[in-house]
Structure 1
Amino acid sequence: MKTFKHLFTAALVAASVASFAQTTVVITTDSVAKTTRPMKTVERITSDFSIYIGFNSFGGSLPTGYDLKPIGSRFVALSWQKRIPLITGNGAKLRLITGPEVAWNNFMFEDRNTLVNQNGQLVIESANVDLHRSKLVTTQLNLPVILNLRFRSGLTLGAGAYAGMRLDSYTKVKPEGASAVRTHGNYNLNPVRWGLTSELGFRGSAKLFFRYEPNSPFRSGQGPNTSVWAVGLKL
């Protein structure tokens, strides 16, 4: 009887092992789908150095003798600018551009005309000899504030204003065949000037600029009532 029990038990164990060997165990795990979001480009504040080169002149009705040479009357400015991003979109970017600049206005007079300050009044006098050069030069420290809009196509538009204070001013008269004479003075110029500015460019190429000062650079009643404009390239 015991032998039969042992044989029966051994048969059950063998059957169980065979059944377990034929059983397929499937293990499932929960998988979590992960989505990768594109990295967003962060616009940073950048700096650059620009040079403005062009021509300038007086506008409006001028007294006799204030006629200027178009080619000799030049405008130059050295500008250190910060570009501050304001709005960044798929089609355009809006930035604020500002920073100090030093600007020079060269007003070159025609013929023998010279500018003289007599008893607090500006007077145009004619020299006794032919002149190679006669001009008024002003040096100014400006702070422009420009809103710049750049499109995906590369076209850039800028518009804003600037204000500045006079650093220096002088006349320079050079007779033919003689040394130039430079005379510093305030020449009844306003200590503070302001104007409007605009810029037009494409990608990284040079930009066209235009500036306009509606108010006269001279003090009221002590010089001509005139405006000032400048046009040229921003490099």
Structure 2
Amino acid sequence: MRQLGLIIFALCAISLASLANDPVKEDTVVIEFGERSKMVIYAETEQDLKDLSAYDINAMIGEINANLDSASAGSDEVSIEDKKGTRYLKENTNSDDNTGSLSYYGDDRYSDEDRDRYLRRNKRYDYGSRHDDYDDDDYVIVTRDRSRSRGTYGTFELEIGMNNWLENGSFPDNGNAAYAVKPWGSWYLGVGGVYHTAIAGPLKLKWGGNMTWYNWKMEDTSVRITKTDAATTFVPDPTIDGKKSKLAATYINAMVVPMLEFNSRRRTSSRNHGFNWTKYRQKGFRIGAGVYAGYRIDSWTKIKYSVNGDNKKDKEKGNYYLNNFRYGIRGQVGFRGMDLFFNYDLNDVFATDRGPELQAISFGFIL
């Protein structure tokens, strides 16, 4: 409900019609309602407070609620057009000779210093600095602080890391296998978008999709990766001077990862729309684990080598008996702006009896 207090404050501050020629001491009016909610009205002059009684506050609040409901799909702001506030004037009311009663307690609890500090902290209500073409009586702008809302917001993510595969729980290079992967150079890349949905307390649900590229670079650069009628084979070629040999595959994926996010530090901006570059609104420690599934859309092999000093490159597309579907578990841990991820495929990279029994892994950073 604290958002409602800020919303009403914005409306009331903008609706004050005019400044008197002889300024007097500023007044702050605070109306408390509910358990933790309040409406704060700052008036430059005593006449401004009297003019306020000519407006129907209930009508303003009703329209705010209606616009917030219509904006619940994810917008940051709702705008209520109303030239000179006439929409909210009470019937048969002349603001020049009408005064209203408000529960007033000001200087003893809210000093000028407190008021100035409040206005500085909420610069988004300083329309003169944000919108040069806005006049005080042109528009009413309601800004939703989505960092404190319980809704859903989307972010763009770039994953950069390395990939390898395991055979019976260990790396193939432990047995000097021909399909042993060189860690440095076996790059993993993922690009996509995810949503963050608040569940309860620190529990959030991260869900979305991406496109990923696996590059398994062979430790033995002379290994030829060949698809035969029976299986995919990895055989060193002693007749060449190998430079690079790799198997690559591209997948589209979906994932669901419950996250625990702690130590909230509110974002300074609430004006981002849709997807943004700020991944998390909680700026402390976070950790989560979930699942993913993917579908292969492309795969190929490439080998670079030289024969008698002539450099050559062979690249061939094919399925190489790779499983079309992949699925696995995912872990993620982060602090402030740094996040690490780890993926482990539960199914084999190759179809049964069509290649080595390997499970893919990938790990790296989320940017």
Q: For 1:211-226, what aligned pairs fall within 5 Å after superposition?
A: 211-226=343-358
The one-letter amino acid of 1:163's match is A
- Greater RCO between the two (CA within 8 Å, min separation 6)? 1
The one-letter amino acid of 2:210's match is E
1:65-105 deviations in Å (ceiling 9; x for gaps): 11111101121111211111111x3xxx2111111100111
Contact 1:120–1:188 (CA<8 Å) still a contact in 2? no
Structure 2 gaps of 5+ residues are 1-30, 39-144, 265-283
2:366 corresponding residue in structure 1: 234
1:99, 1:209 → 2: CA distance? 15
2:213 corresponding residue in structure 1: 104
Q: Kindly indicate whether residue 184 of structure 2 is the aligned counterpart of residue 77 of structure 1.
A: no
3-state SS in 1 of match to 2:37: coil
1:59 corresponding residue in structure 2: 166
Deviation at 1:34, TM superposition (A): 5.2
* Length, aligned pairs only: 198
Q: For 1:182-221, what aligned pairs fall within 5 Å after superposition?
A: 182-203=315-336, 205-221=337-353
Higher helix proportion: 2
The one-letter amino acid of 1:170's match is W
From 133, 150, 163, give the equivalent of 2:244: 133
1:214, 1:34 → 2: CA distance? 56
From 119, 122, 141, give the equivalent of 2:232: 122
Q: Kindly indicate whether residue 296 of structure 2 is the aligned counterpart of residue 166 of structure 1.
A: yes
Name the % identity.
31
2:346, 2:160 → 1: CA distance? 21
Deviation at 1:214, TM superposition (A): 2.6
2:207, 2:349 → 1: CA distance? 23
TM-score, normalised to structure 1, is 0.78
Contact 1:56–1:229 (CA<8 Å) still a contact in 2? yes
1:173-223 deviations in Å (ceiling 9; x for gaps): 1114624321000000111000110111012x1201111113211000011
Structure 1 gaps of 5+ residues are 1-32
1:110, 1:130 → 2: CA distance? 14
1:49, 1:96 → 2: CA distance? 16
The one-letter amino acid of 2:211's match is V
1:35, 1:54 → 2: CA distance? 52
Moved over 4 A (4+): none
From 173, 180, 194, give the equivalent of 2:313: 180
186-195 vs 175-184, greater mean Cα deviation: 175-184
- Structure ID, larger Rg: 1
Higher strand proportion: 1
132-141 vs 93-102, greater mean Cα deviation: 93-102
